[in-house]
């Protein structure tokens, strides 16, 4: 085999190994996430808080604050304390703690302050939104699963459609591997989630179709946003904590964008204790 022939073969083997790791990691992480989401309460608050802290630390590493404990500690502490407040259903206290954390991070990051603060806001928004969507005792779990499933099928549908169809690149300067075919495939797959929820009488098909379409687009924009940040700082993966997926930001970028938009929409329709109903009841 010549060198030109060996290179594609090696790439194909690497892709297959990467796909196998992605599937294996998903097979473990998805059921665990669903079980904790179903349990809700302090278990969900704990998982969300740990994820938020991980997002903050990875963001700081990407923008050049690796090992900068003066920035990491106050931000992580604020996210952790806010998580305890959320678990106790003290939303007011959690927001106050996060506001103090914002000030502390800004004060302790004299260089690239805007990037450090943006990372804290990114993690805090993910924490707040994920808690609020699940907080509703009536429709919280259904609403959270709706968002999660949209993100998952958008990602999976985009991956397989992009690999199988190929074609023009979506935004090659930011994400060279993403194609318009992949974006369309993920979008179409997300609509199946709305139909599935309507079939099981969890919501009305019309509004859920609109909502799933919007969240699918937002999820893909969140993915592109994270790719743009990494490219700005010349980073390939946010970390290597998840086999085949990279870091938490690599895995949760679409979810963060989608759940924040979902939480805002549900909050406007259902109030702080009825975000789930605001999303699912029409």
pTM (2 d.p.) = 0.90
Residue 18 has pLDDT above 70, yes or no: no
Confidence of residue 263 (pLDDT cuts 50, 70, 90): very high
Q: Looking at 13-17, 83-87, 111-115, which range is the least confident one?
A: 13-17
Task: Work out the average pLDDT over 91-118.
Answer: 95
Confidence of residue 253 (pLDDT cuts 50, 70, 90): very high
Residue 96 has pLDDT above 60, yes or no: yes
Residue 1 has pLDDT above 80, yes or no: no
Model confidence pLDDT, tens digit, residues 178-234: 899 999 999 999 999 999 998 888 878 999 999 999 999 999 999 999 999 999 998
pLDDT value for 217: 97
List the chain domain ranges.
Answer: 40-135, 137-282
pLDDT value for 19: 65
Residue 3 has pLDDT above 60, yes or no: no
Q: Looking at 29-33, 98-102, 191-195, 258-262, which range is the least confident one?
A: 29-33
Confidence of residue 10 (pLDDT cuts 50, 70, 90): very low
Confidence of residue 172 (pLDDT cuts 50, 70, 90): confident
Residue 76 has pLDDT above 80, yes or no: yes
SS3 track for the chain = CCHHHHHHHHHHHHHHHHHHHHHHHHHHHHHHHHHHHHHCHHHHHHHHHHHHHHHHHHHHHHCCCCCCHHHHHHHHHHHHHHHHHHHCCCHHHHHHHHHHHHHHHHHHCCCCHHHHHHHHHHHHHHHHHHHHHHHCCCCHHHHHHHHHHHHHHHHHHHHHHHHHHCCCEEECCCEEEEEHHHHHHHHHHHHHHHHHHHHCCCCCHHHHHHHHHHHHHHHHHHHHHHHHHHHHCCCCCCCCCECCCECHHHHHHHHHHHHHHHHHHHHHHHCCCCHHHHHHCC
């Amino acid at each position: 085999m010549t060198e030109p022939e060996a290179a594609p073969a090696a790439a194909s083997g690497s892709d297959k190994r990467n796909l196998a790791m992605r599937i294996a990691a998903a097979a473990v992480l998805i059921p665990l996430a669903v079980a904790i989401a179903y349990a809700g309460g302090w278990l969900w608050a704990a998982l969300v808080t740990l994820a938020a802290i991980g997002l903050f630390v990875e963001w700081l590493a990407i923008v050049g604050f690796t090992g900068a404990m003066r920035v990491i500690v106050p931000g992580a502490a604020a996210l952790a304390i806010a998580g305890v407040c959320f678990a106790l259903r003290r939303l007011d206290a959690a927001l106050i703690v996060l506001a103090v954390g914002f000030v502390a991070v800004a004060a302790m990051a004299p260089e690239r302050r805007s990037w450090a603060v943006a990372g804290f806001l990114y993690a805090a928004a993910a924490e707040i939104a994920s808690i609020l969507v699940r907080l509703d005792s009536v429709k919280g779990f259904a609403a959270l699963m709706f968002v999660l499933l949209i993100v998952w099928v958008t990602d999976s549908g985009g991956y397989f459609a992009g690999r199988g169809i190929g074609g023009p690149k979506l935004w090659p300067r930011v994400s060279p591997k993403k194609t318009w075919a992949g974006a369309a495939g993920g979008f179409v797959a997300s609509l199946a989630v709305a139909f599935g929820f309507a079939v099981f009488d969890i919501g009305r098909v019309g509004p859920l179709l609109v909502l799933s379409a919007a969240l699918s687009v937002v999820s893909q924009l969140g993915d592109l946003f994270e790719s743009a940040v990494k490219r700005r700082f010349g980073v390939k993966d946010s970390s290597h904590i998840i086999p085949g997926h990279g870091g938490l930001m690599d895995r949760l970028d679409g979810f963060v964008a989608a759940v924040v938009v979902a939480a805002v929409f549900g909050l406007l329709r259902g109030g702080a204790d009825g975000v789930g109903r605001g999303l699912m009841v029409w």
